[in-house]
Copies of this chain bind each other. A is one copy, B any other.
Amino acid sequence: MNAEIPKPIEFWFSFGSPYSYFAALQIDALAARHGRRVDWRPFVLGVAFKRSGMAPLVQQPMRGEYAMKDWERLGRLHRVPYAFPSRFPIDSLAPSRMYYALEQEDAQRAHELARLFFKSYFGEDIDISDAQTAAKLGATLDLDEAWLLAAAADRVWKDALRARTDEALAKGVFGAPFVIVDGEGFWGCDRLPMVEQWLQRGGW
């Protein structure tokens, strides 16, 4: 362990999760306020749900209906565009693989792409589960559309996403977003203020 260089914060999320969206727009700035970088970590939420015995929120009686309302309120509260997508839930394999491919080249650009995926899906009702659509979005950031499309189908990035999902489960990640700071886990975008206090105090 090197005490002088703080470890990056791990930000586990799914591109298809509304609560992940609201957290994604805040996490880099939050970390930067405390001299930290963030490792963005998309994973396959459905696998975690199976392990923890959970169902997607919108499929749960009473809680699903509540979540729909909660997401609307969070959008207004954070003053960010939000509309429940016409296709929901989606599988987020393609954008997740593209993310990991790009991250290896340039992590900051990958974060930009990730934010664009989120804003497109939850702000503009663009179906990012479609690889061609996701690659086209990348092109608006001057990324190579064909390269992104190939990444989504490449065994290397399929395996990478699977490995990250296994890693998430091994670390006790059962929902999204899930932030890990120096081994301490925080679940939910509503725990970001707690993450911030944790960073301020260096634990407590």
Contacts and interface: CB of A to CB of B under 8 A. Distances in A.
A49 to B, nearest CB: 10
Give chain A's interface secondary structure class.
helix
Interface residues of A, number: 27
A174 B66 contact: yes
A128 to B, nearest CB: 27
A185 interface: yes
A190 interface: yes
A175 B191 CA distance: 18
Which of A53, A62, A73, A187 is packed against the most chain B CB atoms within 10 Å? A62
Interface of A: 51-54, 60-63, 65-66, 69-70, 73, 76-77, 172, 174-175, 185, 187-188, 190-191, 193-194, 197, 204
Please list the 4 inter-chain residue pairs (A to B) with the smallest Cβ-Cβ separation, ordered nearest first.
A62-B174, A190-B190, A52-B62, A76-B204
